[in-house]
Amino acid sequence: MCLEKDTLGLFLREGSASTEVLRTEAEQCKNLELKDLLPYGFAIHHAGMTRVDRTLVEDLFADKHIQVLVSTATLAWGVNLPAHTVIIKGTQVYSPEKGRWTELGALDILQMLGRAGRPQYDTKGEGILITSHGELQYYLSLLNQQLPIESQMVSKLPDMLNAETVLGNVQNAKDAVNWLGYTYLYIRMLRSPTLYGISHDDLKGDPLLDQRRLDLVHTAALMLDKNNLVKYDKKTGNFQVTELGRIASHYYIT
């Protein structure tokens, strides 16, 4: 489109050192699309590319040689790359677990937009969100801080507990209960207990939610034990790491 409309000059920094760098690095690319785009200051980033190509793109963008980077949502989640402008084109992603398209969560949106205008890299930043008319009011309320962000940690608690156990930060159920007390989940359970299935009577009888946290830990530990990721002694509450658990944690297998 830029070639057709003769607007490539808006993105290409002719005469700069970046031009030569991009042309040289393009020769090393395995991805043919990336090889064609790179000399013009454009790049792509997705899971279908080789690790070498992805790392090259990340490094060139971080060094400001690449002017426009088009990526899947995973780049915004997993790689810390500051940018001047972040454009989110569409707010739906496919969920294999649900077998359908779902809206991006509030934390995901804020994580992506938070890449724009990092103080140590830029004096200002711009975030542009393109969504459907039906979701517009929701995102306006979110960005105006009218909607509280709720924790999604419960659904991932077994994975997180396994990771903490492998790291040695959590060795038993008591440690895990204390660890949960430092999470955003705990803060939201105290502030909006009903959203997390906690009645006001439960909160009155257990103001620090010790029993609730223990129940969550127990349920997660049973699941890990059932799948041989952690050995869980129900009498003592002790956790023992398994080799399978180490592998799952190391390779982020859920």
Closest CA to 49 of 72, 66, 27, 65: 72
CATH architecture of the region 153-250: Orthogonal Bundle (1.10)
Q: What is the pLDDT of residue 97?
A: 76
Reported as a pLDDT band with limits 50, 70 and 90, residue 253 is confident
The boundaries of every CATH 1.10.10.10 domain in the chain are: 153-250
Q: What is the pLDDT of residue 76?
A: 63
The boundaries of every CATH 3.40.50.300 domain in the chain are: 2-143
Q: What is the pLDDT of residues 187-198, one digit of tens each?
A: 999 999 988 999
- Dihedral sign (CA 223, 224, 225, 226): positive
The token duo for 135 is: 């979701």
> 3-state DSSP call for residue 4?
helix
- pLDDT for residue 233 is more than 90: yes
The token duo for 15 is: 């005469």
Please give the Cα distance from 242 to 165 (Å, whole number): 10
Reported as a pLDDT band with limits 50, 70 and 90, residue 3 is low
Q: What is the pLDDT of residues 37-89, one digit of tens each?
A: 999 889 999 888 998 999 999 999 989 899 999 988 777 666 678 889 999 99
> How high does pLDDT run on average in the chain?
88
Please give the Cα distance from 247 to 251 (Å, whole number): 6
- pLDDT for residue 230 is more than 60: yes
- pLDDT for residue 29 is more than 80: yes
2-143 belongs to which CATH class? Answer: alpha beta
Cα-based torsion angle of the residue sequence 195, 196, 197, 202 in order, rounded to the nearest 10 degrees:
-100
Q: What is the pLDDT of residues 83-125, one digit of tens each?
A: 899 999 998 888 877 888 888 877 788 888 888 888 778 888 9
